[in-house]
Each structure stands twice: as C-alpha cells, then as structure tokens.
Amino acid sequence: MKIRVVKTAKASAVQVVRYQNNKRVILQHVGSAHNDEDLNELILIAEEWIKDFSNQLSIFPDEHPNRLLHLNHCTFVGVKYHFFYELIHSIQDKIGFGNLPLLLNDLVAIRIFEPASKLRSLELMQQFFGIEHSRKTYYKIAPNCIELKESVEEKAVAFAKENYAFKFDIVFYDVTTLYFETFEEDELRKNGFSKDNKSQQPQILIALMVSKEGFPIAYEVFSGNTFEGHTIIPVVKQFIKANDVNEFTVVADAAMISTENVEQLIQNNINYIVNNCIVFIGT
C-alpha cells in the first residue's frame, strides 16, 4: 500500500492505493487539501490508516517516533492534578491524619489548591483530582467533624515534637475571620469586624496557635462578633491544661495583650511577648 497525492487545479487529493495485476486499486480516499498544512495532516492520517488496515508493524524504523497524536483531531477534556493530590495526602499521612475521614482530607487538599465553599469544593475535586464525593456523604460526616478537634490537635503536637523539637517553650497566637456567602446570622455566624472587608456578611473568628517554625498546633472557633482580645486567655489556658505544660510563653500583638489580659496572664503564671517587650512571670 502506498500514499498517492493527486494534484488538481484547486486541491490535492490524498489516497491510499495498491497495485494489483498492473492496475491501481484505490483502497481509501482520505481527503482533499487546499494548503500544505492540510496536506501534511492528511498524509499522517493516511499513514495511520495503512497501519490499522494492515495490522502489521513496519520492518523499517518510524521516521517520527514521537508523533503520537494528531492534535487537530483531539479534544481537550481537562487536566487532573494527581501529583498535587498525592503529595498533600502523603503529608497528611506523615502528620498522622491518614485515619481521618477521606472526604475531610480531600476537602483540605482542595482548599489548599483552590479555596471555595464546601459544596463547590466537591465539584472542584471531581474537576481537578478526578475524585468524586456526594453531597450526601458530606452532610453525613460534617456534624461529627467537630469531635475530631482534640484528636487532630494531639497528632499535630506530636508531629511538632518529633520533627521540630517543639517543647511548649514559645508559641505564636493570632486570629482571623472567615465570612460566609450569606446575609443570615445564626448562633455562630455573626456580623462583626471583618478582616476580609465583608462587614455585611456573617463570619466566624478563628484563633490559631503555631510553633516558632509556623506549624499549627492548636485552634479554636468563636462566633463572628467576638472581640479578638477576649479569645487569648481561654485558648491559652485550655492548651496548657490539655498538654500539662509547666512553662509557657505566648507571642501576640498589642490587640491581644490588653491590661486586663496582662493581669490574667500574670495570675496564671504565663509568660508573654508583645511589641518587642518581653515579660517573664515566674517559672
């Protein structure tokens, strides 16, 4: 079988032919090209047709071994970020979060990749990771996730001890706000001072403590109208109690270390650092 190009006044016809008893037999008319680019494309298609029709590999090496796809005849269907997904899950396993609900870990992964609402995140997981979770599954596990807080913090602290030599000697404390795409409040989601400039939308207040390396070790959630200065004492005291800490220094900005808070820190023998001023209270 050979590829035959028949040139006319307006086009070039590409055919697959063979010769039998001194006669030309047209096996396949591939198409007509009106420029060199189309002609080259039709010749490629003809070559592929011969390979498929003959069901036999050529004994001669392919002149273009890397020519695997005809892009003009392909449709882009998307990209799956499997490497990113597997990398995040390997980190979660390393920290000790591998036994948490798979959907929860997947929500964390997609939140890092592209932050969105939880239901939108389910769609993004399918689009970017090829992972499918139903809304029904999310609604089933969501109420129970709050019960994982203590276990998650224990695993985070254990990881920090092992990998960052964390000894509870110093932690950094701050808060931020997360708003919701709604204008209706409830017991937790309240309007308040928004760090995202979304004062008309209800929010929650997130308190976070990290090691000196920046690794998160504890968190707490407050209603959105909570004054941030009222969060540090209960969070720090709970952390000290949960981990049986003897000596502890917290670093926070001036909004946290008010006169009232300083008095409570002193009463609880908690060291603190604020505005480049270091104060040590007992040992």
Predicted confidence at residue 214, as pLDDT, reads 93
Q: pLDDT-derived band of residue 138, with 50, 70 and 90 as boundaries? A: very high
Q: What are phi and psi of 211, to 5 degrees?
A: -75, 175
Which secondary structure element, helix H or strand E, spans residue 203, and what is its range? strand 203-210
Q: Is 261 exposed, middle or buried, given 0-12, 13-18 or 19+ CB atoms closer than 10 A?
A: buried
Rounded to whole angstroms, the Cα distance separating 140 from 157 reads: 28
What is the rounded radius of gyration, in angstroms, for the C-alpha atoms of the chain? 33
Q: Among residues 230, 118, 224, which one has the least CA distance to residue 176?
A: 224
Predicted confidence at residue 216, as pLDDT, reads 95
Tell whether the model's pLDDT for residue 126 goes beyond 80.
Answer: yes
Q: pLDDT-derived band of residue 276, with 50, 70 and 90 as boundaries? A: low
Residue owning tokens 């979304």: 198
The total of other beta-carbon atoms located within 10 Å of residue 42's CB is 20
Q: For the chain, what percent of residues have pLDDT higher than 70?
A: 90
The rounded Cα 70 to chain-centroid distance in angstroms is 33
Structure tokens at 278: 């270091």
Predicted confidence at residue 64, as pLDDT, reads 62
pTM for this entry? 0.68
Rounded to whole angstroms, the Cα distance separating 155 from 217 reads: 9
pLDDT tens digits, 22-36: 899 999 999 999 998
How high is the mean pLDDT of the chain? 88
Predicted confidence at residue 74, as pLDDT, reads 78
Tell whether the model's pLDDT for residue 272 goes beyond 80.
Answer: yes
Q: pLDDT-derived band of residue 124, with 50, 70 and 90 as boundaries? A: very high
Q: Is the dihedral of CA 97, 100, 106, 110 positive or negative?
A: negative
Predicted confidence at residue 65, as pLDDT, reads 57
Tell whether the model's pLDDT for residue 282 goes beyond 90.
Answer: no
Rounded to whole angstroms, the Cα distance separating 97 from 109 reads: 12
Range with lowest mean pLDDT among 134-148, 185-199, 223-237 = 185-199
Q: pLDDT-derived band of residue 283, with 50, 70 and 90 as boundaries? A: very low
* Mean pLDDT of all residues in 201-224: 94
pLDDT tens digits, 161-202: 999 999 988 999 999 999 888 888 998 999 998 888 888 899
